[in-house]
Structure 1
Amino acid sequence: MESSDDEKDGVFENYIPKDLSQTLASNGAKFVDVVLNGDNEHCLENFRMDKHAFYRLCDILQAKGLLRHTNRIKIEEQLAIFMFVIGHNLRTRAVQELFRYSGETISRHFNNVLNAIVAISLDFFHDPGSDIPPEIREDPRFYPYFKDCVGAVDGIHIPVMVGVDEQGPFRNKNGFLSQIVLAACSFDLKFHYVLAGWEGSAADLRVLNSALTRNKKLHVPEGKYYLADTKYANIPGFIAPYHSTPYGIIEFGGGVHPQDAKELFNHRHSLLRSVTDRTFGALKARFPILMSAPPYPLPTQVKLVVAACAIHNYIRGEKPDDWIFRMYEHEEAGLQLEDPMPPLEIEQPVMHAKTQVVDMPFEAEQLEYSSQLRDSIAAEIWNDYIRDFSSI
């Protein structure tokens, strides 16, 4: 975002929404004051977090020396500019109208805040602990079967804008330009780990392999595992569903029952793994800039994903019950709430496990153990299901 000229409003037709335009003040400082002196809902609507979380984030960024007040713009206004852009997917020209600054000033503070958030992003991502997640421990559908599960992994495609000469690798199988974002999610709608920036045409397992072997790698605690969907293989640290078996959130009842252990396992697996859809759903609902390709340099687009996920985690810690999180807390949320944009997830063709693990750093014995672990979980779920069903 180097100047206001790099934003083609004629292409995106991006303007201040009518309900927001009513709050226009004579300058940005007065607008921010109006919002921060109003009620929490007004702050959440405009700056995507409540007042307590907003002020605390300002204090964190100032204390770490990443942002400072200038003669013209306080830290609160700098953060407000950034949150307004990513929270309403507005281009520089529209934000200029609201904050009454030049495009250069808007762009400079946007980038300053973006870099500051990225600089402390690791503070907001935490590896899973050793305790059994309460979402598993307190639900008889999942406990004790998935007691060693710490979360779920998935990769989604986020739209990108790149130059014509760079478009080839970023064009995914559906023909759209995208970056793959691999994320490990906890069951309380947080991100344990995020890897952004991979070209949309990259194989999912290649991206996962990168996450497991890079310096800042995805950490899977000893004896624990993440759930993964059909794009991935059943490998150490990751349990995938059974291929060639129905998979999805299907409610059994009314004479409909699972046919065997694999089908029941896939059903329970899909219920737990839906947390990735809900976590990404909450992320995109709060930061709609991720729903379309913003016309910034590619490194900025990648940073935006990391920053959005970090702020998402921060807000979840500070205000876990705000209205955006409440919409996505239950497993039915992904089915009941319509995404305002077409689905970005790209379904990959199902491959045999032997093909999938070609470049993965695992021994045959490790892969066999992973297969046996999945089979043992499936058998335990099925045996208990048959026993309970027979006792009715």
Structure 2
Amino acid sequence: MESSDDEKDGIYGNFVPKELGHNFALNGTKFVDEVLNGQSERCLENFRMDKPVFYKLCDILQGKGLLRHTNRIKIEEQLAIFLFIIGHNLRTRAVQELFRYSGETISRHFNNVLNAIMAISLEFFQPPGSDVPPEITQDPRFYPYFKDCVGAVDGIHVPVMVGVDEQGPFRNKNGLLSQNVLAACSFDLKFHYVLAGWEGSASDLRVLNSALTRRNKLQVPEGRYYLVDNKYANMPGFIAPYLGVPYNSNEFPSGYHHQDAKELFNQRHFLLRNATDRIFGALKERFPILMSAPPYPLQTQVKLVVAACALHNYIRREKPDDMLFKKYEPQTALQIQESLALQEVEQAIKPVDTHDLEVAFEAEQPELSSQLRDSIATEMWEDYIRDLAVV
């Protein structure tokens, strides 16, 4: 028999949020009320967004008829349950002890909210506009050379939990179970497009091919392009770095004078494409459920990725300067260099395997893509040499 929304079971176990450490008698309703009646920072910490942003999302979901108040649990508490789970990577048992509802009630509202967000997720993904991004126009390293660039594309592996019989395809090159997620993003840290659910063993180029050929496909405006790294091919709509040329900024010491146009192009390409690292960093810090495999059906795990990206865009739109986003503002070249020195990076760019690339191009298009990259690099190099001569 289905349990009622006001069913309470269990007592607080080992998990006690610090806000509740002083009061074990609080139930979920009182906890949510305390957070929403407190400082906005508490809402950001617990529910991963500021209070006005939280309340507006409640209004949107209610106004579209996607969520409704029940006899015991208001929409605010339903959304809080969902955000608390994905924002703190908690399992149902820990959440039911905190909110003091049955596991069935927690699970039901979690899935209701997830499906509600999925229903409006496309509203939060906007394709690139016609204007040149200000991150390019306002930086002489990038303008006018990358004036036709609309963003960057990259892939990320999100841990996944699947049955033993399904594990083979989901095991990536590191031997871990994951789904390969492709994202196209803007330089102001918004997702243009997200494709989740591909097995971890799938190559990045194969996932990109899928994104370009499916019904709900990644669209690149005519005459524009995205930046991609060496996992992808240099092809129409996507500009990759030069192969066999230093790429990561830590390979260029401070004050280093580039030796040729390809070196200069690769470094500036890397600095601009760094937006993907920052957007993935912000996404995973806000919603750490993406950093470990949650014990949900595979379809739910795929939905969680898309929903998290949609919520990221919604928050970025409503509160672009919230405290978490501030941590991922554009870094200077020196800061990027210092941060990369702490990471394991590839010292050489390996040729990409293009056998998965099935998109039909005119015979001359790949050559035109190479010519476009060369023309950008040449213009950039000529200005660089002239500026050095002036100094």
1:39-90, Cα deviation, whole Å (9 max, x unpaired): 0000000000000000000000000110000001000000000000000001
C-alpha distance 86-187 of structure 1, shift in aligned 2 (>3 A)? same
2:232 is the counterpart of 1:232: yes
Alpha-carbon RMSD: 2.4
Q: Paired residue for 1:31? A: 31
3-state secondary structure, aligned to 1:57: helix
CA shift for structure 1 position 360: 2.8
2:102 is the counterpart of 1:102: yes
C-alpha distance 349-104 of structure 1, shift in aligned 2 (>3 A)? farther
Q: Distance in 2 between matches of 1:15 and 1:266?
A: 50
Range 197-206 or range 249-258, more displaced: 249-258
CA shift for structure 1 position 298: 0.3
3-state secondary structure, aligned to 2:380: helix
Q: Paired residue for 1:270? A: 270
C-alpha distance 45-201 of structure 1, shift in aligned 2 (>3 A)? same
1:275-306, Cα deviation, whole Å (9 max, x unpaired): 00000000000000000000100000000000
Residues 209 and 357 in structure 2, CA contact (< 8 A), matched pair in contact too: no
Residues 233 and 357 in structure 1, CA contact (< 8 A), matched pair in contact too: no
Q: Distance in 1 between matches of 2:99 and 2:230?
A: 46
Residues 25 and 98 in structure 1, CA contact (< 8 A), matched pair in contact too: no
Q: Distance in 1 between matches of 2:104 and 2:223?
A: 51
Letter of the structure 2 residue corresponding to residue 375 of structure 1: D
Q: Paired residue for 1:316? A: 316
Q: How does 1:291-306 map to 2 (within 5 A)?
A: 291-306=291-306
3-state secondary structure, aligned to 2:249: coil
Q: Paired residue for 2:138? A: 138
CA shift for structure 1 position 170: 0.2
Q: Paired residue for 1:184? A: 184
Q: Paired residue for 2:376? A: 377
CA shift for structure 1 position 390: 1.1
CA shift for structure 1 position 356: 5.2
3-state secondary structure, aligned to 2:112: helix
Q: How does 1:63-212 map to 2 (within 5 A)?
A: 63-212=63-212
Letter of the structure 2 residue corresponding to residue 190 of structure 1: K
**Structure 1 length as normaliser, TM-score?**
0.91
Residues 141 and 268 in structure 1, CA contact (< 8 A), matched pair in contact too: yes
C-alpha distance 357-29 of structure 1, shift in aligned 2 (>3 A)? closer
Q: Paired residue for 1:44? A: 44
Q: Distance in 1 between matches of 2:191 and 2:197?
A: 16
Residues 170 and 201 in structure 2, CA contact (< 8 A), matched pair in contact too: yes
1:204-251, Cα deviation, whole Å (9 max, x unpaired): 111001101111100100111000000000010000000111111248
CA shift for structure 1 position 270: 0.2
3-state secondary structure, aligned to 2:364: helix
CA shift for structure 1 position 361: 1.7
CA shift for structure 1 position 15: 6.1
Letter of the structure 1 residue corresponding to residue 192 of structure 2: H
C-alpha distance 295-346 of structure 1, shift in aligned 2 (>3 A)? farther
Q: Distance in 2 between matches of 1:334 and 1:179?
A: 27
3-state secondary structure, aligned to 1:364: coil
Letter of the structure 2 residue corresponding to residue 387 of structure 1: R
Q: Paired residue for 2:216? A: 216
Residues 227 and 240 in structure 1, CA contact (< 8 A), matched pair in contact too: yes
Among all aligned residue pairs of Structure 1 and Structure 2, give the percentage whose two residues are the same amino acid: 74
Residues 187 and 275 in structure 1, CA contact (< 8 A), matched pair in contact too: yes
CA shift for structure 1 position 352: 5.2
C-alpha distance 358-131 of structure 1, shift in aligned 2 (>3 A)? closer
Q: Paired residue for 2:283? A: 283
Q: Distance in 2 between matches of 1:32 and 1:358?
A: 49
Residues 158 and 180 in structure 2, CA contact (< 8 A), matched pair in contact too: yes
Residues 62 and 68 in structure 1, CA contact (< 8 A), matched pair in contact too: yes
3-state secondary structure, aligned to 1:156: strand
C-alpha distance 352-43 of structure 1, shift in aligned 2 (>3 A)? closer
**Structure 2 length as normaliser, TM-score?**
0.91
1:289-333, Cα deviation, whole Å (9 max, x unpaired): 000000100000000000000000000011110111000012357
3-state secondary structure, aligned to 1:350: coil
C-alpha distance 287-334 of structure 1, shift in aligned 2 (>3 A)? farther
1:106-146, Cα deviation, whole Å (9 max, x unpaired): 00000000000011000000000000000000100000000
CA shift for structure 1 position 336: 6.5
1:128-180, Cα deviation, whole Å (9 max, x unpaired): 00000000001000000000000000001000000000000000000000001
Q: Distance in 1 between matches of 2:121 and 2:109?
A: 18
Letter of the structure 1 residue corresponding to residue 217 of structure 2: K
CA shift for structure 1 position 256: 2.0
CA shift for structure 1 position 32: 0.5
1:327-352, Cα deviation, whole Å (9 max, x unpaired): 001235766779xxx99x99998325
Instruction: Give unpaired runs (5+ residues) of structure 2.
Output: 4-12
Q: Distance in 2 between matches of 1:313 and 1:82?
A: 17
Q: Distance in 2 between matches of 1:36 and 1:334?
A: 37
Q: Distance in 1 between matches of 2:40 and 2:264?
A: 44
Residues 278 and 328 in structure 2, CA contact (< 8 A), matched pair in contact too: yes
3-state secondary structure, aligned to 1:153: strand
Q: How does 1:340-355 map to 2 (within 5 A)?
A: 350-351=350-351, 355=354
Residues 275 and 331 in structure 1, CA contact (< 8 A), matched pair in contact too: no
Residues 235 and 370 in structure 1, CA contact (< 8 A), matched pair in contact too: yes
C-alpha distance 327-300 of structure 1, shift in aligned 2 (>3 A)? same
